A and B are shown apart, each in its own frame.
Chain A
């Protein structure tokens, strides 16, 4: 597609439920990144994929968070047993290759609200 596509755009769920967020990167981009941004805060790095592998998972805040990428394209971020502190905007970005000299292009994000 023309840009990074994320779905859903908004998600409201009850505490304790599992949620799955989806990211479809720019066509041909091999690197994919997940970030989290709480209201008024900076970007918090979660995980980075190069192809289907994740060289850097250091940002995942707990074992309730997991992510996968299949076919070198679409990625899903799963949060199990959601907590209220998980409420944030989850942003996905992609870049042509997984080199740090490549700019990242962001999707519009998924706004997650945990009741």
Chain B
């Protein structure tokens, strides 16, 4: 059973801090990884994709990938209350689908 594991949280950080969200995956053949943000009552929204080992930065977001450790992370710098949401990690599956984690709930306190 191919799985993506995330800590369900909630992860609580103060406004302006760095939020660190982590994810591990079981399928060593996965080559593509995605982070989605899901606000309560809304559908998932793609925020980052990463395919190579190392860091990928986009504004306040940095995705990190370590294929040897089968580990993906998302850092959110200067966290804002509007970043409060559930963050879903997804790994590319062998059938052309994505395997989603259950998500980590982030709460940014003003």
Contact = CB atoms under 8 A, between A and B. Distances in A.
A56 B97 contact: yes
A45 interface: yes
Max count, chain B CB within 10 A of own CB: residue among A43, A98, A106, A109: A43
A56 B95 contact: yes
Interface in B75-110: 88, 90, 92-103
A109 B41 CA distance: 10
Contacts of A109: 43
Contacts of A56: 95-97
A35 B43 CA distance: 11
Given A43-B44, A105-B46, A106-B44, A100 B100 contact: no
B46 A103 contact: yes
A91 B43 contact: yes
Contacts, number: 60
A104 interface: yes
B53 interface: no
Contacts of A45: 97, 99-100
Interface residues of B, number: 25
A106 B90 CA distance: 14
Contacts of B98: 33, 100, 104
A111 to B, nearest CB: 9
Contacts of B70: none
Nearest to B93: A100
A62 interface: no
A100 B43 contact: no
Interface of A: 31, 33, 35, 41-43, 45, 48, 50, 55-56, 91, 98-109
Given A103-B46, A103-B49, 11 more contacts: A42-B88, A42-B100, A43-B88, A48-B95, A100-B31, A101-B51, A101-B92, A104-B34, A104-B46, A107-B43, A108-B43
9 contacts: A33-B98, A35-B100, A45-B97, A45-B100, A56-B97, A100-B32, A103-B49, A105-B46, A108-B42
The 7 closest A-B pairs by CB, nearest first: A100-B92, A42-B102, A98-B96, A101-B32, A106-B43, A43-B100, A56-B95
